Amino acid sequence: MKYYIIAGEASGDLHGSNLIKAIMAQDGDAQIRCWGGDLMQHAGGTLVKHYKELAFMGFLEVLMNLNAIFKNIKFCKQDIAAFQPDAIIFIDYSGFNLRIAKWAKEHNFLTNYYISPQIWASREGRIEKIKATVDHMYVILPFEKEFYEKKHNFPVNFVGHPLLDAIANRPILNESEFRAQNSLDLEKPIIALLPGSRKQEVQKMLSVMLSLTSDFSDYEFVIAGAPSLDKDFYASFLKDANVKFIQNKTYDLLTVSKAALVTSGTATLETALFKVPQVVCYKANWISYQIAKRIITLEYISLVNLIMQKEVVKELIQDDLTKQNLKKELSLILNGEAREKQLSSYNELIKKLGGAGASSNAASLIIENAKTA
């Protein structure tokens, strides 16, 4: 059968690649066209558009790039119409994907949504669009099934979290070799910096995160470079001898890290699954933050705290993200009781998410639904 998959960010590329592998394992005749990244392409998808061309962040940035966004929407519709897939699969990236889903439904394509838009966090009214345009929804967080089915009477499938697949499939890392290959100190414990994947947020986050280097000179700070950004972009942040840079190896970096400073998003959950104590950091431009504050209804912004429904990791948001606060919170998780408490909560988190197998579960359901459509 023919499948058309749309992911618009680095995390979507990762989960999309594992989904492609699972579809191909179960459907030997699968033809797949996709919007995503290098991982989806390497998994066997024909890449139509790279997410590097799609990554606009925040309300202002989206407004400034509306023309490009509308051109992409038009092109996407034309490409789907030419390919005539048996199933369209949307991965997160709701602003774009819900528009395509509306058009796809009107043109009688089977619509699958893998990794739900976070309507439980903001703009819950989008449930009406989802009900009208999505044939099958596959959710990856335990509380999402209850949210959709009990609150909105919309049946969904909980397939488990694909990050557990991504981590379970990894080869064992030799730490000494990894440090040597990446010019890292062979002895110093590492503090990983995960500042996000978009230029605007990376610049804001690193300026605060790197203000701590002189206070923690016994540690090596290592920036996890996003695959969507060139190494040249990071050059201005690498002037301190105690700061190193690694690109496209975030999971390897987390494997060897003592602690991490992490921008909110999927990375907070990834860090927890690698059992690395963390402080969550987030600062948007003032206008974007004021708008977001009014439409986001959640008590927490990190997935770790949302899933656990309590504060497991400290969140320093907007004006709370200062050098003084960050220094205090990082000190707490390097040694002692706060560190052990966070690690213990991570074990509870992993139990809540269920085991590996999300990609395979989702693929089975997508194939089955396409056959019976």
CATH number at residue 334: 3.40.50.2000
Q: Verify that 148 and 191 share a domain, yes or no.
A: no
Q: Verify that 205 and 130 share a domain, yes or no.
A: no
Q: Verify that 18 and 76 share a domain, yes or no.
A: yes
- 59-105 pLDDT tens trace: 666 667 777 888 999 999 999 999 999 999 999 999 899 999 999 99
Q: Give CA–CA dist 343/278, Å, rounded.
A: 10
Q: Verify that 240 and 294 share a domain, yes or no.
A: yes
Residue 289 has pLDDT above 60, yes or no: no
Q: Verify that 174 and 126 share a domain, yes or no.
A: no
pLDDT of 287 reads 63
Q: Verify that 142 and 291 share a domain, yes or no.
A: no
Which is higher by pLDDT, 287 or 366? 366
pLDDT of 37 reads 95
Is the separation of the CB atoms in 277 and 260 below 8 Å? yes
The parent domain of residue 362 ranges over 2-160+357-372
pLDDT of 5 reads 98
pLDDT of 70 reads 86
Residue 205 has pLDDT above 60, yes or no: yes
- Could you tell me the pLDDT band of residue 327, with boundaries at 50, 70 and 90? very high
User: For residue 8, what is the DSSP state?
Assistant: -
pLDDT of 55 reads 62
Which is higher by pLDDT, 3 or 67? 3
Residue 119 has pLDDT above 70, yes or no: yes
Domain count, the chain: 2
AA identity, residue 204:
K
- Could you tell me the pLDDT band of residue 356, with boundaries at 50, 70 and 90? confident
Q: Verify that 333 and 365 share a domain, yes or no.
A: no
Residue 288 has pLDDT above 80, yes or no: no
AA identity, residue 49:
K
> Which residues is 46 bridged to in the sheet?
33
Q: Verify that 206 and 309 share a domain, yes or no.
A: yes
pLDDT of 239 reads 87
Q: Verify that 176 and 91 share a domain, yes or no.
A: no
Q: How many CA atoms lie within 13 Å of 32's alpha carbon, on the beta-carbon side?
A: 29
Rounded mean pLDDT of the chain? Answer: 92
Among all chains, which residue has been given the structure tokens 């739900």?
116
| pLDDT > 70 in the chain, percent | 94
pLDDT of 293 reads 60
- Chain Cα centroid distance, residue 118: 12
Q: What is the mean pLDDT of residues 305-320?
A: 93
Residue 112 has pLDDT above 80, yes or no: yes
> Which residues is 47 bridged to in the sheet?
34
Is the separation of the CB atoms in 222 and 254 below 8 Å? no
Q: Verify that 110 and 241 share a domain, yes or no.
A: no
Phi/psi for 115 (5° steps) reads 80, 95
Sign, Cα dihedral of 230, 236, 237, 240 = positive
Residue 9 has pLDDT above 90, yes or no: no
pLDDT of 291 reads 62
Any idea how long the chain is?
373
Q: Among 343, 326, 323, which Cα is nearest to 262's?
A: 326
Q: Verify that 86 and 235 share a domain, yes or no.
A: no
Q: What is the mean pLDDT of residues 107-120?
A: 95
- DSSP H helices, the chain, are 10-26, 38-43, 58-64, 66-83, 94-106, 127-133, 142-146, 152, 162-168, 175-181, 199-209, 231-234, 250-255, 266-273, 286-295, 303-308, 323-334, 337-353, 358-372
pLDDT of 292 reads 61
Q: Among 172, 180, 140, which Cα is nearest to 307's?
A: 140
